[in-house]
Amino acid sequence: MKQRNRNGKGGRVPLFLQRKRKKRKKKQRQKQRQKQSLPYLLCAIVFAGAAIWLGGYGIFTVWQSRHAHKIQEKLRSMKKAATVFVPSEIQYDRNGFPVAGVDAFWDNLFREISIMERNPAPAVMPRYQSLYEINHDMAGWLSIEGTVIDYPVMQTPEDENYYLNLDFYKQPDKNGCLILDTDSEAGIGTKDCGYADGSAPSTNLIIHGHTMKSGDMFGNLQLYAEEKYGKEHSRICFDSLYEERVYELIAVFYSQVYYEKDEVFKYYKFFQADTEEEFYEWYRNIKAMSLYDTGVSAEFGDEFITLSCCSYQVEDGRFVVVGKRIM
């Protein structure tokens, strides 16, 4: 049967129609190829965008981490530069008594008494005066020898989480600051003076900090889960603005933040023991939960410090280190 043209007549298709059909088919193939390549193109764009974003985020993260370290070093330098005269020849035993350089010890003690007589009201220790003038939210300084923990501790009664993602200068910083729980009272004055004209610290000071992957803040606190490490770093130093304090490791345990209605032991609810019953309820629980025996005991009337950070063994998990005040 003969092929018909558009006029319905038999014979070959005119040349111009053949060319027109070829062009149409060519365009159809091009469109089809474009449709097929579109998903790949979109993937390439997304991948390139993600690479650029991750690269930029990585650079920003490194810069932010270095910036945070510079800030912390600056604060430590300011603290160190303002430290009052302490004779280097004085040596102390584990209980804080001088065993060498006794004459220098007494000279220094009389000097401090003289300053106290001229300034009977509680005064911020010289090493912290410049830092406190910069930021009145500073409540003290936490340090543990042989670790990276050597930071100011902040407290904002109006908003406990204010420094969660801010540095000492109130600038954005994912490390945040170490935060003294708003229900903790750091105390005003010194124990030696019976906190005269001031106020005694609460039974238990709870300090919160981020578990940073970099190891900053409380990023390495969970190393205390190992008994050997805990015993090698058993001394925890926390200075209020007015006095130096030293604590001895007494318990290390995992816990979590529970629902308000849950009737379980909540370590983060203990701040003040007004009765022996309140104290021993808390004390028995932390000793029972401790991952190992630290060899340190306590009794009603002692003071404590609790370091708390996030852990991920359960939902809203926490890792906790507790110390008893010995000086």
* CA gap 98, 134 in Å, rounded: 34
Low-confidence ranges of the chain (pLDDT < 50): 1-8, 57, 60, 84-88, 90
Residue-wise pLDDT tens digits, 87-110: 445 455 555 555 555 566 666 666
* CA gap 111, 113 in Å, rounded: 5
* CA gap 183, 268 in Å, rounded: 10
**Residue 237's beta-bridge partner residues?**
143, 246
* Stretch (H or E) spanning 231: helix 227-232
pLDDT (0 to 100) of residue 1: 46
Task: Determine how many CB atoms are found less than 10 A away from the CB of residue 105.
Answer: 19
pLDDT (0 to 100) of residue 148: 96
Query: CA triplet 226, 229, 234: central angle to 5 degrees?
Result: 120
Residue-wise pLDDT tens digits, 213-254: 999 999 999 999 999 999 999 999 999 999 999 999 999 999
pLDDT (0 to 100) of residue 70: 82
Residue 51 Cα distances to 2, 6, 42, 60, 253, angstroms: 62, 56, 14, 14, 41
